[in-house]
Structure 1
């Protein structure tokens, strides 16, 4: 089970880091799930998450189990 402490700037930092390395890790996915479950996202954070998901669907990001 994922245990992640969610900070306000986490989504923006995660977005930049994931795009830079070109892959979405298990830890990255846990951060996203925690943010979504907490339901405390602002509109900009929702847009960033949607952009990550779009990149995965288009094959621009790889989903890995690291």
Structure 2
């Protein structure tokens, strides 16, 4: 039986199965939902993500900080 940590990690992985699509939509529209932003901020940065995934997350965080992407409700 999986413990709570394993279940949480599986949920995070399923949320990020379309990370490239999320990144593309956010950059093209200049918007990201609060829920998507929250998921990015609470995602564990460890071996569960590839280097490419971590790079996309970092770039999206930077875009929000620079004001190129706005967080919407």
* TM-score, normalised relative to structure 2: 0.65
Number of residue pairs matched?
Answer: 62
Provide runs of 4+ in structure 1 moved above 3 Å. Answer: none
Alignment partners' CA distance in 2, 1:25 and 1:8: 14
- List runs of 5+ in structure 1 lacking aligned partners: none
Kindly indicate whether the alpha-carbon contact (under 8 Å) linking 1:6 and 1:31 is maintained by their aligned counterparts in 2. no
Greater radius of gyration (CA) = 2
Report if the CA contact (8 A) 2:32-2:69 is conserved.
Answer: yes
- What RMSD, in angstroms, separates the aligned Cα atoms of the two structures? 2.5
Unaligned runs of 5+ in 2: 1-10
Alignment of 1:26-45 (within 5 A): 26-33=34-41, 36-37=43-44, 39=46, 40-45=48-53
**Residue 11 of structure 1 contacts residue 45 of structure 1 at CA under 8 Å; is this kept in 2?**
yes
SS class of match (2:19): helix
